[in-house]
Amino acid sequence: MSQRIVIDPVTRIEGHAKISVYVDNAGNVSGAEFHVVEFRGFEKFCEGRPYTEMPGITPRICGICPVSHLLASAKAGDAIMAVSIPVAADKLRRLMNLGQLVQSHALSFFHLSAPDFLLGWDSPPASRNVFGLIASHVDLARAGIRLRQFGQEIIEVLGGRKVHPAWAVPGGVRSALTKEGAEKIRAWLPEAYATTRTALDLFQKVLETHQHEVQLYGNFPSLFMGLVAPDGGWEHHGGKLRFIDSSGSIIADQVAPADYLKVIGEAVQDSSYLKSPYYVPLGPVDGLYRVGPLARLNVCTHMGVTQADAELRNFKALSPGAVTSSFLYHYARLIEILASLEWIERYLDDADLYGSHLRADAGINSLHGVGASEAPRGTLFHDYTVDRNGLLQKVNLIVATGQNNLAMNRTVAQIARHFARGPEITEPMLNRIEHGIRCYDPCLSCSTHAAGKMALHVRMIAPDGRVLHEMKRD
Amino acid sequence: MNTPYPSEDGDLLVIGYGNTLRQDDRAGPLVAGTIESYALPGVRTLVCAQLSPEHAEAVARAREVVLVDAMSGSVRATNLQRIAPAASPQVTTHAVEPPTLLALARDVYGRVPPVWLLTVPAEKLGFGTDISETTRHGVEVAVGKIVKLAHRKSLKPVEV
């Protein structure tokens, strides 16, 4: 008898979703889907508003990565003004983005993912979370919380608040980094480095004991996309787009973010409100690409800082071409934390960071502007079209999680195909499928701009359409 | 394993959270912002989009805590209730639920003060900055409840 196995909700990701696993009459997995049931509508809400308000509005899409939207929005405003912002402003924005990467990656690794591979897929659900981690690895758990706090502290030092800092604006930033703020960040760095190094050493041990997961959790050929510097170096805030294939070959390079529509199309799925971007020249099926830490490390040639470059070499040595296992997103996140710390330290010693010229002054010089920035989960695009008064006529937001949508579908199917056996559903099997999704650290609130919790509905459906089992949660 | 937190700061901490662009969901920040404007002695406020793990430290340090949030559904009245830490571990996300936050304060910082959850009824959760009359009235009631709490004798905290 065919069955549809539903995992709803997926725990430990942002927003709400359900997973459907389709099993045929022979008991084999015939397919799987990752559904997003939330509603997207932020773009329409913004129409008619001045583009200058967008850095204040768009961070409120999500409480997880507001800085990413703040910076991409400000960059879109820069493009409408047709300005190059002052050097100090650019480096200050970069500093804030690095803080964002640290805090988001730290939470993803320590709270959302580490409980699985440190405590085991078969550990009881009640302990397979951060509290179980606290009990068994108490120092690591506390250090992980502190590492996230460090990233948040950078954001607050610069923007005045940790969430929704109204600081980056079209043309630059509102305020400088104070000497006290710089010293506060600098004083915290040694602890942050130590925690990151501990986590990296720990993950090397995880790699030794989790080769099965490396092979099966979202390990398939795909394209990868991210921003790169002119010399191919790791980028998190500037640069241009690069696509590579799974052999590591560059198939598109130095594409200006303003031209993103030449390379990125969006397909609509019947079963989800989440759109599915794809690489245009190859179409919606073959054009599947991944973004985020795994992609950024794949597309770049170097991180530009010593310790992270050494780790990048270790990372790239895992595969002759691109590193294709989504399980290794966790490793990539840790390397990006390390790179972020090294770049933070470098910026603190950079005299340019303390320049007094923080804003370029201009009117509306273009009726269209695109801002792209690397959010923790991947490349984020803010695309604004305005009238001559600067009022928004059209807004298009492409968020990181949406770009990983097709890859998440394929990951779920791959894991389910391997671990599902007939009608028996075990907790460890379900958790492996969920973990496949968590490798991407998706933010569904960003992808669909949800208000908050929504009612959940779980159904087991027989081949003839009968509801075998049903659960609701308000 | 649990090291008691070095010192209590002696304040009543009011944390108002919610999305300020989702109409009635801004109830929590509105309440906290109003309390802040009163500058009551011994009262601190914190406004955020959602509760996060790093709020556990502030919770553990406070004399008493009020978490303020909008709540949609059939409940139409502002409600204040004492809440306890999660008895067994809860799953966590980038945002945490109140009992989870208390459990984090307990397990990582060794202390949980008396914590209240103050919910304000919400009707509209679309995009926008306007709020419903129900929520507007609920915010006023919530502010009044917090002012009363600020003036009453503090309860004994729970040391772990």
pLDDT per position as a tens digit, A333-377: 999 999 999 999 999 999 999 999 999 999 999 999 999 999 999
Top-ranked range on mean pLDDT: pick from A56-65, A275-284, B2-11, B85-94: A275-284
pLDDT at A4 over 70: no
Mean pLDDT across the stretch A164-179?
A: 91
For residue A149, the chain B residues in CB contact (below 8 A) are 54, 57
pLDDT at B126: 82
Q: Of A242, A285, A291, whose CA–CA distance to A263 is shortest?
A: A242
For residue B22, the chain A residues in CB contact (below 8 A) are 60, 451-452
pLDDT at A428: 67
Q: A307 CB near a chain B CB, below 8 Å? A: no
- Mutant choice from A145, A437, A446 vs B, greatest count of B C-beta within 10 A: A145
Q: Of A415, A471, A419, whose CA–CA distance to A439 is shortest?
A: A415
pLDDT at A381: 95
Q: Determine the residue of chain B that is closest to A136 in CA distance.
A: B1
pLDDT at A453: 35
From the list B25, B92, B128, the residue facing A111 with the nearest CB is B92
pLDDT at A472 over 60: no
Peptide bond into A66 cis (omega under 30): no
Q: A126 CB near a chain B CB, below 8 Å? A: yes
Q: Of A452, A239, A241, A161, whose CA–CA distance to B126 is shortest?
A: A452
From the list A12, A57, A452, the residue facing B92 with the nearest CB is A12
Which contiguous run of DSSP H or E holds residue A194? helix A179-209
Proportion of chain A above pLDDT 70, given as a percent: 77
Which contiguous run of DSSP H or E holds residue A55? helix A54-57
From the list B21, B48, B126, the residue facing A163 with the nearest CB is B48
Tens of pLDDT, residue by residue over A129-156, are 555 555 666 677 778 888 998 999 999 9
DSSP A26: T
Tens of pLDDT, residue by residue over A405-419, are 889 888 988 987 887
Q: Of B42, B51, B55, B66, whose CA–CA distance to B109 is shortest?
A: B55
> In this predicted complex, what is the ipTM?
0.76
> Taking CB atoms and an 8 Å cut-off, how many pairs form between chains A and B?
89
Q: What is the largest CA-CA distance in chain B?
A: 49
Q: A40 CB near a chain B CB, below 8 Å? A: no
Q: Determine the residue of chain A that is closest to B48 in CA distance.
A: A163
Cα dihedral B1, B6, B12, B18 in deg (nearest 10) = -50
A159 phi and psi, to 5 degrees? -100, -5
Beta bridge pairs of residue A381: A372, A398
The rounded distance, in Å, linking the Cα atoms of A222 and A201 is: 28
The rounded distance, in Å, linking the Cα atoms of A300 and A242 is: 9
Tens of pLDDT, residue by residue over B115-158, are 999 999 999 888 888 999 999 999 999 999 999 999 885 555 54
Mean pLDDT across the stretch A435-455?
A: 60
Mean pLDDT across the stretch A292-319?
A: 98
pLDDT at A73: 96
Confidence tier at A460 by pLDDT (50, 70, 90): very low
CA A206, A211, A217, A222 dihedral sign is positive
Tens of pLDDT, residue by residue over B50-81, are 888 888 889 999 999 999 999 987 778 999 99
Q: Determine the residue of chain A that is closest to B54 in CA distance.
A: A149
For residue A60, the chain B residues in CB contact (below 8 A) are 19-22, 49
Q: In this predicted structure, which of A244-248, A278-282, A292-296, B109-113 has the lowest mean pLDDT?
A: B109-113
The rounded distance, in Å, linking the Cα atoms of A188 and A317 is: 32
The residue with greater pLDDT, B33 or A464, is B33
Confidence tier at A163 by pLDDT (50, 70, 90): low
Query: HSE of B159 in the Cβ direction (CA atoms, 13 Å)?
Result: 7
* Strand-pair category, A172-173 with A168-169: antiparallel
Q: Which two tokens stand for residue A153?
A: 């502290």
Q: A405 CB near a chain B CB, below 8 Å? A: no
Q: Are A444 and A401 in contact (CB under 8 A)?
A: yes
CA B41, B46, B52, B54 dihedral sign is negative
Tens of pLDDT, residue by residue over A378-415, are 999 999 999 999 999 999 998 888 889 889 888 988 98
The rounded distance, in Å, linking the Cα atoms of A68 and B88 is: 34
Confidence tier at A463 by pLDDT (50, 70, 90): low
pLDDT at A281 over 80: yes
